[in-house]
Amino acid sequence: MSTPLLEVRDLRVEFPTRRGTLVAVDGVSFAIAPGEVLGVVGESGAGKSLTGMAIIGLLEPPGRIAAGEVRLEGERIDQLPHEAMRRIRGRRIGAIFQDPLTSLNPLYTVGRQLSETILTHLEVSPREARGRALALLREVGIPAPEARIEHYPHQFSGGMRQRVVIALALCAEPRLVIADEPTTALDVSIQAQIIQLLKRLAREHGTAVMLITHDMGVIAETADRVAVMYAGRLAEIGPVREVIHAPRHPYTVGLMGSIPKIGAGAGKRRARLAQIEGAMPRLTAIPPGCAFNPRCPRRMERCLRERPELLAAGANRAACWLHG
């Protein structure tokens, strides 16, 4: 791709603890093009959220970026001083978190929180900020925005709140939005609406989205490309159709196989849900070589010794010696 919007190279996030250093994200590399939606999937604890937090500079101490680079439009941002990073947040990179109820300050009106963010980043008058806030509320589909702008967060339902959160993340017009499990806390019927909203806004504003989730259905609907994470490492990355229908990494294969498909197996032969044996290793007990090797049905002798890099595998890239 031409100059990627975001480039992550060999990112390594560590947590120093009393019993030694935990590596939560280990050598992850990927890029996001302008306007693209990159899905990042994996089980809980695979390191997806931490990657997102590392990119936007919100890792909680003692967590820290131990190695690697993060580049936004070509410039390095992972080692910026505090104030410079603050200016990037919201203005160039935005973020959305999982629970809309706890994401909003209960003591301020929605309008106040919107205006505050707008005024922080854009040189406009308070009145203009309020006008923009109104327009944003309208854009994310909140009915009667003139009245609602004076309401407090607890006066909105879950889905409406998440729309407000999206409005807040987009109000300073960032080029990239990191969405960390944006629909997990919502009812299934609302999930679809929110996903549609995200897609539409991303398209209309040309915003790239890093969509972190464990829900493959959401990814299939929304993403252009998808990255599969396992035990803090990248297992596979590629166009979404390819990864779903022709996965190249045994873990991805297992993942796709374990998704229930309605109507699979006609008549008497109903397909069984495939399971991956075992569980993802804890951060303190990652095996040498390929992290997936204890559970891999296709493992070879090499997998036990050498950790695979991302290798070309058809239209995707997979960290697996099958393609070495």
Partner 1 sequence: MLAFILRRLAQAVLVMLAVGLIAFSLFRFVGDPVVFMLGQDATPEDRARVTRMLGLDAPFYVQYARFVGNALQGEFGLSLRQVQPVSRLIVERLPATLELSLCAALLALVAGVSMGVYTALKRDSWLSQALLALSLVGVTLPTFLVGILLILVFAVLLGWLPAFGRGDTVQLGWWSTGLLTASGLKALILPSITLGLFQIALIQRLVRSEMLEVLRTDYIKFARARGLSDRAVHFGHALKNTLVPVITITGLQLGAVIAFAIITETVFQWPGMGLLFIQAVTFTDVPVMAAYLCLIALFFVVINLVVDLLYYAVDPRLRIERGAAAH
Q: Which residues would be at the binding site for partner 1 (CB under 8 A)?
A: 56, 58, 86-91, 94-95, 97, 99, 102-108, 116-117, 120-121, 152, 154-157, 160, 165, 168-169, 172
- Helix, strand, coil percentages in the chain from 3-state DSSP, rounded to 5: 35, 25, 40
Longest CA pairwise span in the chain (Å): 68
CA–CA distance, 175 with 208 (Å, rounded to integer): 6
Beta carbon nearer to partner 1, 106 or 260: 106
Beta carbon nearer to partner 1, 135 or 279: 135
Structural tokens at position 60 = 């909680």
CA within 13 Å, CB half, 2: 2
CA–CA distance, 195 with 221 (Å, rounded to integer): 8
Beta carbon nearer to partner 1, 43 or 116: 116
CA within 13 Å, CB half, 125: 2
Q: How far is the CB of 144 from partner 1 (least distance, A)?
A: 10
CA–CA distance, 115 with 72 (Å, rounded to integer): 26
Beta carbon nearer to partner 1, 87 or 203: 87
Structural tokens at position 175 = 């080029």
Beta carbon nearer to partner 1, 171 or 255: 171
Q: How far is the CB of 263 from partner 1 (least distance, A)?
A: 36
State the distance between the two ends of the chain, measured CA to CA, in whole angstroms.
24
Q: 10 Å Cβ neighbour count for 43?
A: 16
Q: How far is the CB of 209 from partner 1 (least distance, A)?
A: 15
Structural tokens at position 182 = 């944006």
CA–CA distance, 169 with 165 (Å, rounded to integer): 6
CB 34, CB 210: distance < 8 Å: no
Q: How far is the CB of 264 from partner 1 (least distance, A)?
A: 38
Beta carbon nearer to partner 1, 3 or 155: 155
CA within 13 Å, CB half, 269: 1
CA–CA distance, 7 with 74 (Å, rounded to integer): 8
Q: How far is the CB of 180 from partner 1 (least distance, A)?
A: 10
Structural tokens at position 14 = 């560590």
Beta carbon nearer to partner 1, 99 or 242: 99
Beta carbon nearer to partner 1, 97 or 321: 97
Continuous segment of H or E residues that includes residue 189? helix 188-205
Q: How far is the CB of 240 from partner 1 (least distance, A)?
A: 26
Q: How far is the CB of 120 from partner 1 (least distance, A)?
A: 6
Q: How far is the CB of 214 from partner 1 (least distance, A)?
A: 19
Beta carbon nearer to partner 1, 114 or 319: 114
Structural tokens at position 90 = 């919201």
Q: How far is the CB of 21 from partner 1 (least distance, A)?
A: 21
